[in-house]
Amino acid sequence: MQAGIQQRVCASCSLAETAELPISDHAFADWNTVSASTCTMQGQRERVCGICGAAQQENLPLARHQYGLWENEDRADCTVYGTRHRTCVHCDIMETGPLAPRYHAYDKWEIRSESTCLQAGVRARNCKYCQHVEEETLPLKAHVAASWQVITQAALHRPGEQSRSCKNCDTVLDMRSYYPGDEAFAVSFCVMGPPVDDLVPEVSDKGYRAALLDTTQDRTIILPLIAADAYCVGEVHIKIRQGSISASYLLYSAKSQVFKERMQLLEPGTQLTQEIILSNRQGLKVSGEQELFHKLQNLGHVLIYLRFDGIFDFNDPLNEKIDWQDEKWQAYAADLQAQADTARELYR
């Protein structure tokens, strides 16, 4: 800018006097933005003096970063502080900040291993926002009891032992003594006579016997009562009177007991079959306190088939084990053979 000049003239003589004026300040107009600032480059603004047209320029400060949304960084555990960041949309500069702790937010439970009745299973769920995995032990499954199994067999008058285990793991859940009752140990009691399978071969390994009797004369016959085809446990008393017959029995030991009585009187000409021998019907009644006689259809012979279900103590000395080599029993053996031969003729 240049200094100005001022002049004054004398009114009387017209003498002119000049003087230099001091330079004055610019009179600038308002600022105008020439270029806007960014977060990486300063902008400029400009203003012009209204007197002399002089222009003044000035850098603008850098603009603030314009950040996008915060993004959480992965962390091992939601319950501790983590880190988050956001990025300027113009310059990619990144700002980080603390990520406050929070409660875990879990997905659904997943079964990792099923429980058994011996080992607990495991289920787990993952946090949606961190690497934390929560695991939980599942309850044991209940044992499934199988049926009772015999550990020690019961015997007559002696309880056995049973156990019950889990079907899945074989763990023993319970033990108990058991006794099925005396009748469970019943064996066959038969009158001394030839083995029935000599007459009916289809009935084998049963140990059943039947006695062939001569009924032509009145008489009383006492025959051994045989248990399990091996022990003499009592006597069978047979009375033949005027074409009728009765049978009763005596047990030697008070410990012996009969549960079921069966008696059949099979006359000659009867076809002996497996059904007759194995029949479970009582048939004719055996004499007890009252003597019962049964009428015979024909005189000559009758096959008396006694089969009782009973128990006895083989350790009781009153119950004699049969030894067929003994003279006493050899005498019976000879008679049994003769009976068998005759019976085969009569009951073809």
Domain residue ranges in the chain: 65-103, 109-142, 149-180, 185-346
Q: What confidence score (pLDDT) does residue 308 get?
A: 97
Per-residue confidence (pLDDT) for residue 14, from 0 to 100:
76
Q: What letter represents residue 270's amino acid?
A: T
User: Which residues touch 102 (CB under 8 Å, ≥6 apart)?
Assistant: 78, 79, 129
Long-range CB contacts (< 8 A, 24+ apart) of 65-69?
65/39, 65/90, 65/91, 65/93, 65/95, 66/39, 66/90, 67/95
Of the candidates 105, 108, 106, 109, the one whose C-alpha atom is nearest the C-alpha of residue 122 is 109
CA distances to 152, 165, 228 from 148, in Å: 12, 8, 29
pLDDT given at position 1: 56
Along the 348 residues of the chain, how does pLDDT read in single tens digits?
556 677 777 878 878 777 776 777 788 888 898 888 888 898 899 998 888 888 889 998 988 989 989 998 888 898 999 899 999 988 889 999 998 999 999 999 999 999 999 999 999 999 998 889 999 999 999 999 999 999 999 999 999 999 999 999 999 999 999 999 999 999 999 999 999 988 888 887 788 999 999 999 999 999 999 999 999 999 999 999 999 999 999 999 999 999 999 999 999 988 888 899 999 998 999 999 899 999 998 889 999 999 999 999 999 999 999 998 988 898 888 889 899 999 988 887
- State how far the Cα of 302 lies from the Cα of 279, in Å rounded to an integer: 18
Q: How many angstroms separate the CA atoms of 15 and 33, rounded?
A: 52
Asked whether 312 and 319 are in contact (CB, 8 A), the reply is yes
High-pLDDT (> 90) share of the chain, %: 63
* The two structure tokens encoding residue 148: 């009772």
Q: Are 201 and 188 in contact (CB under 8 A)?
A: no
Tokens of 152: 């020690």
CA angle 262, 264, 270 (to 5 degrees): 150
Question: For residues 231-256, b (16+ Cβ closer than 10 Å) or e, as one string?
Answer: bbbbbbbbbbeeeebbbebebbeebb
Phi-psi region at 78: left, alpha or beta (left = phi > 0; alpha = psi -120 to 50)? alpha
